Amino acid sequence: MARITLKVNGKLRVVDTDSTTPLLYVLRNDLGLQGPKFGCGLSQCGACTVIMDGKTVRSCSVPVTAAQNREITTLEGLGSVAAPHRLQKAFIDEQAGQCGYCLNGMVMNAKVLLDKNPSPTSTEIKQALNGVLCRCASHLRIIRAIQRAVNADQSDLPIINYR
């Protein structure tokens, strides 16, 4: 067991865990952050995506030790039902999802895309999300949702306290 300190959604969190544990299980089981999902454990589907230092990573394949001293953001860090991020709101407005299991990966990858490229073309959206699998096939709505978020009034952005 090792004592690990993580900075998640702006807060410092301390966990005692086997140091070989992938970040995903620590987020879900130790920190109660269930936005990131287990899909494959193989970095093939994207359901477990979180943002680490501004980049998307597959948390199923990142050892928790590699996440120390990094800024980690999960789906919960973007917003909530009460105060959704503009991307989350755009997905709701477009009803972009069915079972919703893939949506964490879609939103988190879209977030990093928009951070780097505030007005992507639909081709750029498709490229950015191509590694995230959706079996219910809500792809068209997801593309529309991201386009809607791009066009949303920037003042809609909820204030998130990153310290």
Partner 1 sequence: METRTISRREILKGTGALIVSFNFFGAIPQILAQSANPSTAGLPATSLDSWLAVAQDGNVTVFTSKVDLGTGTGTALGQIVAEELDVPISKITMDIGDTDKTVDQGRTSASRTLEKGGPQLRQAAAAARQELLKLASARLGAPVDHLTVNDGVVSVAGNLAKNVSYGALIGGRQFNARITATGDGWDINVAPEVHAKNPKDYKIVGTPVPRFDLPPKLTGEFMYAHEVRIPGMLHGRVVRPPVINSKPSSVDADSIKHIPGIVKVVQDGNFLGVVAQTEWAAIQAARSLKVIWSAPATKFPANPEEMYAYLKNTKSFVERTGAEKGNAASALAQAAKTFEATYRWPYQMHGMIGPSCAVADVRGDKATIWAGSQAPFITRKGVATLLGIPETNVHFIYRGASGCYGRLEPDDSPEDAALMSRAVGKPVRVQWMREDEHGWEPKGPPQLITVRAGVDAQGKITAWDYAERTLPWTDARLSPMLASRQTGIKPDEQGVFLGGGDGAAYNFENRKAVSSGIPWMMNPNPLRTCNLRAPYSSARCFATECHVDEIAAGLSVDPVEFRLRYLGDDSTRVIAVLLAATKKAGWQTRPSPLPASAGSVATGRGVAVSGMAGTVVAQVAEVEVDKSTGKVTVKRVTVAHDCGLIVNPDGLRNQIEGNVIQGVSRGLMEEVQYDSTGVKSLDWRSYPIITFADIPDVDMVLIDHPGMPSLGAGEASTIAVAAAIANAVFDAVGVRLHEVPFTPQRVLSALNGKGSSDRRV
- Considering the rule CB under 8 A, would residue 143 count as an interface residue with partner 1? yes
- Considering the rule CB under 8 A, would residue 131 count as an interface residue with partner 1? yes
Q: How far apart are CA 27 and CA 71, in angstroms?
A: 13
Q: How far apart are CA 80 and CA 63, in angstroms?
A: 27
- Considering the rule CB under 8 A, would residue 33 count as an interface residue with partner 1? yes
- Considering the rule CB under 8 A, would residue 15 count as an interface residue with partner 1? no
| Least spacing, CB of residue 160 vs partner 1, in Å | 13
- Considering the rule CB under 8 A, would residue 32 count as an interface residue with partner 1? yes
C-alpha count within 13 angstroms, C-beta hemisphere, residue 5: 4
- Considering the rule CB under 8 A, would residue 14 count as an interface residue with partner 1? no
Q: Can you tell me which of 74, 111, 120, 148 binds partner 1, judged by CB under 8 A?
A: 74
- Answer whether 120's CB lies under 8 Å from 87's CB: no
